[in-house]
Chains A and B, each alone.
Chain A
Amino acid sequence: GENVEQHPSTLSVQEGDSAVIKCTYSDSASNYFPWYKQELGKRPQLIIDIRSNVGEKKDQRIAVTLNKTAKHFSLHITETQPEDSAVYFCAASQLIGNTGKLIFGQGTTLQVKP
Chain B
Amino acid sequence: EPEVTQTPSHQVTQMGQEVILRCVPISNHLYFYWYRQILGQKVEFLVSFYNNEISEKSEIFDDQFSVERPDGSNFTLKIRSTKLEDSAMYFCAGAQNPNQPQHFGDGTRLSIL
Contact = CB atoms under 8 A, between A and B. Distances in A.
A95 interface: yes
Given A34-B101, A42-B106, A103 B45 contact: yes
A25 interface: no
Interface residues of B, number: 27
Nearest to B40: A107
Interface string B27-50: 000010101000001111100101
Contact of A104 (B4, B43, B48, B107): B43
Contacts of B35: 102
Nearest to A105: B42
Given A89-B42, A100-B31, A106-B42, A46 B103 contact: yes
B101 A96 contact: no
A86 to B, nearest CB: 14
A60 interface: no
A69 interface: no
A93 B102 CA distance: 11
B98 interface: yes
Given A89-B43, A95-B98, A107-B42, A101 B105 contact: no
Contacts of B79: none
Nearest to B104: A43
Given A89-B42, A99-B48, A105-B42, A43 B105 contact: yes
27 contacts: A32-B99, A36-B43, A36-B104, A43-B91, A43-B105, A43-B106, A45-B104, A93-B98, A95-B98, A98-B56, A99-B48, A99-B50, A99-B56, A99-B98, A100-B48, A100-B95, A100-B97, A100-B98, A100-B102, A101-B33, A101-B48, A101-B58, A102-B33, A102-B43, A102-B45, A102-B102, A106-B41
Interface of A: 32, 34, 36, 42-46, 49, 89, 91, 93, 95-96, 98-107
Among all A-B residue pairs, the 10 with the closest Cβ atoms: A100-B98, A99-B48, A99-B56, A99-B55, A43-B104, A104-B43, A101-B45, A106-B42, A104-B42, A95-B99
